[in-house]
Homo-oligomer: A and B are copies of this chain.
Amino acid sequence: MTYCCGLRLKEGLVFISDTRTNAGVDQISVFRKLYIFGKPQERFIAIQTSGNLATTQTVIGHLRNQIELQENINLYTVNSMFEVAQLVGKTLRKVIADVTEDTLEQSNYYCSLLVGGQIGQGEIQLYNIYPQGNFICATPDTPYFQIGESKYGKPILDRALTYDTPLDEALRCGLISFDSTLRSNVSVGLPLDFAIYRKNSLTVPKAKRITQNDEYFQIISSQWSAMLRESLNKIPKPSEVYLT
């Protein structure tokens, strides 16, 4: 499985992805699921992938190929993030259709994608793209999307993250969401990749990698566990009425 989380906040965008893939429990590998595209001063695009690995890699392959072959419509020629979402959605839909015409079987090849970024003076955007090629867009009311094993890490995002959360606090909150997921589900695993984009910077930040030895993640992971247990102990115990 996979866990990817994309945040579209007032100050900018945060993307965090794990890297574990598995075909059964005896074939576990590390694959990147966060891809960065862009040209400084012009555009920044990040894509996160979840689902069938052959499908996601082929989608990324096509998107890169379109750029290399200088096709009319590619990630570097489209004019807006909306057009980026359309291009990625169309590409994804085609990749799945290429594998099988049997619509019932198609779900075996499904994947979901998060696509975020900024082009020129346009707004920053974050899209959740479905296997059918259609998509929804993050808003201040719903400032984050998750794909893959999303449930373990959702409660902390629901409680602590808002559109106005600063980027550094959002990264911290997102990493705790990952820590919760890593602890409860072995199909999500380190290392993590993340990227942070500050609104209107039009830089192309490289994805950074958090490995087992990352000092900050170790702090988060150990402190958070200790604090949860401490907080739990501070909550009054149920009275006798509840226990008899």
Identify the A interface with B (CB < 8 A): 149, 151-152, 154-156, 158-160, 167-169, 171-173, 175-176, 180-181, 183-185, 194, 196, 205, 208, 216, 219-220, 223-225, 227-232, 234-239, 242-244
Contact = CB atoms under 8 A, between A and B. Distances in A.
B172 A232 contact: yes
21 contacts: A149-B151, A151-B151, A151-B152, A151-B185, A152-B152, A152-B154, A152-B155, A155-B180, A155-B181, A156-B232, A158-B184, A159-B228, A160-B232, A168-B237, A171-B243, A196-B242, A196-B243, A219-B235, A224-B231, A227-B234, A227-B235
A220 B205 contact: no
B151 A228 contact: no
B229 A151 contact: no
A184 B151 contact: yes
Given A219-B236, A224-B235, A208 B171 contact: no
Copy count, this protein chain: 2
Contacts of A168: 237-238, 242-243
A186 to B, nearest CB: 12
Nearest to A14: B243
Nearest to A151: B151
Most B C-beta atoms less than 10 A away, residue of A159, A180, A237, A238: A238
A66 B101 CA distance: 51
A149 B154 CA distance: 13
A183 B159 CA distance: 8
